[in-house]
Structure 1
Amino acid sequence: MLKLDDVTKEFRIGAFGGRSVTAVKNVSFEVVPGEVVSLIGESGSGKSTIGRMILGLNPATSGSITFDGRPARPGKEYYRHVQGIFQDPFSSFNPVFKADRVFAMIKEAYYPAVPEPEWARRVAACLSDVRLNPGQVLGKYPHQLSGGQLQRLLIARALLLDIKLLVADEITSMLDASTRIDVLNLLAELKARGLGVLYITHDLSLGNYLAERTVVLRRGSVVEMGLTEKVFGEPLHPYTRELLSAVPRLHESWDDAEPVDTCLYHERGAEGGLLEAEPGHLVACARLGACPPVRP
């Protein structure tokens, strides 16, 4: 469904744009229908930049992004199938309009011929799908609703379209624990209906809870990816191990990340890209390509 192939994003910086910084470098992965892929990494690793490129908010500098086998071209038809939800739900609503205006905008753009009674029925059905009572949320201003309610309103908005892919960028980071679980369980239900989800997060526990596959990003490059149970259960890259070692454990003291004296990548003589350490489990150079070449 969604495929990124060798995608790179550079931003021009400086007073006259004379310099550039590479935010994402040679990133490749796929999301298939009915699958959640978690994109994990620390702040500044390029996760949100990838999400914004998929949504057409930032163009890629090089590489390709395809959806259903065709180049991803942002526009009305593309957004009928691909939607995004961001970290701060309050920033997605205009505070001077009532929250249900997001549904009115969908109707104006995609379903102008649908009669109002039928549209109201569709909206109520989508709100029910995300466990919201229409009478409690419709007609209210954003500041009168909680962050969890606003996030679920945005998911309901996406469900009104023929959505196939949801880009969920840190959508639970501003929610309390109980609401966070509700939103994650909702994503799991949508996945069961065939929706593909790219779940962008820096919270490893949530990624482990939800995703079938995991992509670990560091400084804009993929350092490890594969089945979540493999990446979390048998991490091969020292950065992945470092992330896992930073997760708090009840009744255990925190240990330093396991030091790595040798690089599996260069031990096996790889010379570029990702090494397939085992079927479906790929890992990059431990030093992002800085290791010296292996001598015979």
Structure 2
Amino acid sequence: MLTLDRVTKTFRAGAFGGGSVTAVDRVSFSAAPGELVSLIGESGSGKSTIGRMVLGLTEVTSGSLTLDGEQVRPGKDFYRRVQGVFQDPFSCYNPVFKADRVFALVRRAYHPGVGDKEWADRVEKAVRDVRLDPGQVLGRYPHQLSGGQLQRLLIARALLLDLRFLVADEITSMLDASTRIDVLNLLAGLKERGLGVLYITHDLSLGTYLAEKTVVLRNGRVVEHGDTTKLFANPAHPYTRTLLAAVPRLNQPWTPAEPVESCAYHDAGRAASGGGLHETEPGHFVACAQLPACGRNLA
């Protein structure tokens, strides 16, 4: 179980680092084994910063981030269980080496005692598990493979470890429509095998494809989260409704969401049951729509 409890990340800003910017503000949610959690928000909302904190690439300023009850601490044992796949697959490969060098690096770091024949069999199985033909992808250079093939090779690399949790940060944004579905179906297969997935995206339609739970992020704060079906069937926060209204629909004019003048959750939004959010229905939480301008914020 991956658990974020009031996780905050503040960066230094301004001349000589005298100021500060809060990129992630008291974010709380969890992801269980075999569960895909979709983290949705516009650019600059803090999605990737959360992903980097989960991966131990960015230090948490305050709050608690745990995996199976243990504080996240980057290291070899941690990266056996948690891996990330990022938006631009080409940036993860050295163009002067063949693409399957990523498997050799895993072997050197985590499986130095495995024999050549056994390792070759493991690599072939992992490649087939991500729906690639080893004969067509192994031994090729990155420029000879498509973005979708490179993404799936990165997932295959992760499968060679004792993987428990995968952070997928905008992994379909650079792929064409048909390849996106292939990668999403691959994530569905991994989920069925008991792998927990944090799927970071700005695309609502893809975010709802597989996720049991959805977390909507705005300006570093969670404004709504809960069961995906409930959240999208009955969006309670104006920002969530604005995101849904922005999804293109054929033969339907765009209509903006209504402006926020008052909020039914202004007082109830401080309830402890949802980590500072109000529970509108079982498994569905929403923040006060007047935050962060609200003087009575989530203290």
Deviations 1:200-257 (A, max 9, x none): 0000000111101000000000000000011111000000000000001122221111
Matches of 1:56 and 1:97 in 2, distance apart?
27
**1:48-85 deviation per Cα after TM superposition (whole angstroms, max 9, x unaligned):** 00000010110010011100111111100000000000
What is the Cα deviation at residue 14 of structure 1? 2.7
Structure-2 separation of matches of 1:174 and 1:288:
33
Measured in 1, the distance between the counterparts of 2:177 and 2:28 equals 32
Counterpart for residue 281 of structure 2: 278
Range 135-144 or range 55-64, more displaced: 135-144
1:287 alignment counterpart = 290
Q: What's 2:33 paired with?
A: 33
SS of 2:259's equivalent in the other structure is: coil
Alignment of structure 1 residues 1-296 onto 2, 5 Å: 1-266=1-266, 268=268, 270=270, 273-291=276-294
Following TM superposition, by how much is the alpha carbon of 1:268 offset from its aligned partner in structure 2, in angstroms?
4.2
Partners of 2:262 and 2:290 within 8 A in 1: no
Mean Cα displacement is larger for which, 31-40 or 130-139?
Answer: 130-139
Alignment partners' CA distance in 2, 1:252 and 1:16: 50
- The Cα shift of 1:174 comes to 0.1
Question: Distance in 2 between the 1:107 and 1:270 partners?
Answer: 49
- Structure 1 distance, partners of 2:120, 2:173, is 31
Report the secondary structure of 2:17's partner residue: coil
In the aligned structure 2, how far is the partner of 1:249 from the partner of 1:179? 22
Please tell me whether the aligned partners of residues 96 and 141 of structure 2 are also in contact (alpha carbons under 8 angstroms).
Answer: yes
Q: What CA distance in whole angstroms lies between the structure 1 residues aligned with 2:225 and 2:238?
A: 13
Label 1:154 to 1:98 Cα distance change in 2 as closer, same or farther (>3 A).
Answer: same
AA aligned opposite 2:287: A
- Contact conserved, 2:37 with 2:215, CA < 8 A, in 1? yes
CA distance in 2, matches of 1:231, 1:269: 17
Q: Normalising by structure 2, report the TM-score.
A: 0.95
Structure 1 stretches of 5 or more lacking a match? Answer: none
Letter in 2 for 1:151: Q
Displacement of 1:131 in angstroms is 0.9
Cα distance change of structure 1 residues 292 and 104 upon mapping to structure 2, 3 Å threshold: closer
Aligned-partner SS, 1:96:
coil
Q: Is the 8 A contact 2:260 2:290 kept in 1?
A: no
**Structure 1: distance between partners of 2:117 and 2:16:** 54
Give the count of matched residue pairs: 293
Shift of residue 16, structure 1, vs aligned partner: 1.6
Query: TM-score, normalised on structure 1?
Result: 0.96
Q: Secondary structure at the match of 2:7?
A: strand
For the Cα contact (< 8 Å) 2:266–2:290, is it kept in 1?
A: no
The answer (yes or no) to whether the contact 2:36–2:211 under 8 Å persists in 1 is yes
Contact 2:269 2:286 in 1 (8 A): no
| Cα RMSD for the two superposed structures | 1.4
**1:291: Cα distance to partner?**
3.7
| CA distance in 2: counterparts of 1:149 and 1:117, whole angstroms | 24
Amino acid at match of 1:16: F
**3-state SS of paired residue (2:80):** helix
In 2: Cα distance, 1:267 partner to 1:77 partner = 44
For the residues of structure 2 that align with 1:253 and 1:170, how far apart are their CA atoms?
28
1:9 shift after superposition: 0.3
Instruction: Provide the identity percentage.
Output: 72
Distance 1:82 1:54 in 2: 9
- Cα deviation for residue 267 of structure 1 reads 6.0
Equivalent position amino acid for 2:284 in 1:
H
**Partners of 2:269 and 2:288 within 8 A in 1:** no
